[in-house]
Chain A
Amino acid sequence: MKLRAYALQALIVVAILLTLYGLATVVAARMRGLGVEPGFGFLGQRAGFDIGDTLIDFDAADTYGRAFVVGLLNTVAVALVAIVASLLLGAVAGLGQLARNRLFARLCVAYVELFRNVPLLLQVLIVYVLLIGRLPLPHEAWHVFGDWGPDVWLSKSGLSLPWPVWSNGALILERPVLGTFTFSGGATLTPEFIAVAAALTLFTAAYIAEVVRGSVQSVSQRQREAALALGLDEAQTLRFVVVPQALRSMIPPLANQLLNLIKNSSLAVAVGYPDLVAVADTTLNQSGHAVECIAIIMVVYLFLSLLTAAIMGGWHARLLRRQGGSA
């Protein structure tokens, strides 16, 4: 009996593999017919285009492969910033909806309803257009901390701030300097990065707030009453009794939100932030290797998502072990 079940499963796997192989062969033959040599060899070719916003050095003489790495790092950077910020904002807005202070609670509800019901693409565009429309030109940049604080400038070119760099074997703080057109030196958070990170944060935090609120409310009211009866104050009750129990049911839906956030970061294309998808689109156009570029995008998002799911899953499992319960 067991043997038959295994044989059947093996057969299905073989059938799937054969189908995939067949598809790949047809695709490859068709691409050759169009005069495009299938395969990933093109990643070693010279890219020939520049990328404005990079975490590692890149110029037109580098390869398509390196361009993909630049795009990947940009995706990871904007997603990481947005994950941290949306977890914080989501926790505040989620708990805030339950706050005793009516005004604050209503504000939190209003925030959640507004931001989770407006399409994300629209939010990205609105934030971006506001930023580049309202910020001053580089020559009239705002000196964020005035003349006495650190040298931070805000303008249409973004947020320019001092950044440590290696110079002659010593770590020095390099300040942004205004050139003919814009700032150079130091580090710059471009309006594109800020717009994508901010919109992702505001959008995802609205969902996270709901997850937080739901999980907290699912903790029995009697637990809360018991804690108060034991002499814990409101904050201590939340910290030692409610949140630890709420976390158990919170983590799986939270993981979903983070996965959504990572994938939603591809909307960066709309405002010209050079994330993985933007770089892949440019490469696709330059090289004609559409299938390979889309395969790379798929594999990278799959990997990032599985990684996030694994981290969240690990956290959840540890929590369950420590608390000795089951979700």
Chain B
Amino acid sequence: MKIIFLLAVLLCPGLACAGKTSDAILERGQLACGVSTGVAGFSAADSKGEWRGMDVDFCRALAAAVLKDPNKVRWSPLTSQQRFTALQSGEIDVLSRNTTWTLGRDAGQGLVYAGYIFIDGQGFLVHKRSGVMSAKQLDGAEICVQTGTTTEKNLAEFARASRIRFKTLMFENLRAVLKAFFSGRCQAFTADASALASIRANDSGKPEDYVVLPERISKEPLGPVVRRGDEDWFAVVRWTLFALLEAEERGITQANVDALRARSDDPAVQRLLGVGEDVGKPLGLDREWVYRVIKAVGNYGEIFERNVGPASLLQLPRGINALPRDGGVMYAPPLR
């Protein structure tokens, strides 16, 4: 798989692969969306094979905007090794897969981040019986890590800064690393805190036997990524994200979107729902695109609540991922 992607990247005759992503999507009639191989709450297939999660909903929103149908998505489950090559090679149009935004990735690898959809931080999951209450107490411990991410670097830097030593056990496969941790091969497992919450809730068997330690040792803004060199498609992805935030700010929900479109006399709402000023044209979309997006997946707050919020399996608080008026940092520039 990896080799095929690699060959595809290498043999692309220069510009021919960059192309117009939007045109390619319209021609194909499907959005090619790269997701994870299974992180509950973000992108995971449920028992019926239906993909669910925040990153999944974002791709549905994009499909609703561009193809007028949230179901016209082709899902590509990618490991952390495959994900960037798949995007670079044109195998997928957008990578919506809990991927951390860093300078190196944003500038050095032919990729560009459209924004962040969830702000996370790396933490530690430990066995409760170990009695460990803080990551600083893990000096000398064996720590399981899934490779191919920023995780192992953060871990090494944290150890250095705290003047402690770990024995790092790196696994490529999520199943293998979980098996190792739950069978007691290592004393702690480190990953993004949201992933840890999901793993504790779904994979541990007995969530009460495990604790997520309070420390967050890194900044992990996760967001959708596109190929460099197609600014038009980049703009569509970025503003779809902003539209979800703007809709929450204006109180537009999946439930009231039809009523608001028919009756609201707020110009900002009218603009957003396609009955006022045209906010589709600059993006090469029609004027009702935001209406379709909200109708399909709801606003950002609804996506959060449904997939990872307090009522979901993950039970994550909104925290820093709230709108600025609620003390968070999810800010959208004006859609006009």
Contact = CB atoms under 8 A, between A and B. Distances in A.
6 contacts: A35-B228, A49-B155, A52-B169, A180-B137, A288-B109, A291-B6
Contacts of B142: 52, 157, 181-182
Contact of B148 (A35, A48, A60, A282): A282
B172 A278 contact: yes
A33 interface: yes
- Most chain-A CB neighbours within 10 Å: which of B9, B148, B157, B167? B167
Given A269-B172, A272-B169, A281-B81, A49 B185 contact: no
Interface in A107-141: 125, 129, 132-133, 137
Contacts of B144: 272
Interface in B123-150: 130, 137-142, 144, 147-149
Q: Which 5 A-B pairs have the closest CB atoms?
A: A34-B110, A60-B156, A272-B171, A49-B152, A50-B168
A182 B6 contact: no
Given A27-B10, A50-B155, A184-B140, A35 B110 contact: yes
A239 interface: no
B256 interface: no
Given A35-B110, A60-B156, 17 more contacts: A26-B11, A26-B13, A35-B228, A36-B109, A48-B156, A48-B157, A50-B152, A60-B157, A60-B159, A132-B183, A180-B141, A191-B185, A270-B176, A272-B169, A272-B170, A278-B170, A294-B3
B88 interface: yes
Given A182-B167, A270-B172, A272-B170, A286 B139 contact: no
Contact of B147 (A184, A285, A290): A285
B107 interface: yes
Contacts, number: 131
A156 interface: yes
Nearest to B140: A179
Nearest to A274: B170
Contacts of A238: none
Nearest to A179: B140
B291 interface: no
B170 A52 contact: yes
B157 to A, nearest CB: 7
Contacts of B169: 52, 192, 272
B204 to A, nearest CB: 16
A30 interface: yes
A102 B177 CA distance: 44
A36 B84 CA distance: 13
Most buried by B among A29, A36, A137: A137
A125 B172 CA distance: 13
Interface of B: 3, 6, 9-14, 80-81, 84-85, 88, 104, 107-110, 130, 137-142, 144, 147-149, 152-153, 155-157, 159-160, 166-173, 176-177, 179-180, 183-185, 187, 228
Contacts of A290: 6, 85
Nearest to A23: B10
A270 B13 CA distance: 35
A133 B170 contact: no
Nearest to A288: B109
Contacts of B160: 60-61
Nearest to B85: A290
A281 B147 contact: yes
A285 B179 contact: no
B92 to A, nearest CB: 15
A36 B141 CA distance: 36
B108 A288 contact: yes
Contact of B84 (A27, A52, A182, A288): A288
Nearest to A51: B168
Contact of B184 (A132, A272, A281): A132
A50 B147 CA distance: 11
Nearest to A183: B140
A271 interface: yes
Nearest to B138: A181
Contacts of A125: 176
Contacts of B157: 48, 60
Nearest to A137: B184
Contact of A294 (B6, B141, B176): B6
A219 interface: no
A275 to B, nearest CB: 11
A156 B186 CA distance: 8
Contacts of B171: 271-272
Interface in A3-55: 26-27, 29-30, 33-36, 48-52
A91 interface: no
A312 interface: no
A133 B183 contact: yes
A61 B84 CA distance: 26
Interface string A60-88: 11000000000000000000000000000
Nearest to B18: A33
B159 A50 contact: yes
A285 B167 contact: no
Contact of A49 (B10, B85, B153): B153
A281 B3 CA distance: 12
Contacts of B176: 125, 270-272
Most buried by B among A49, A59, A179, A182: A49
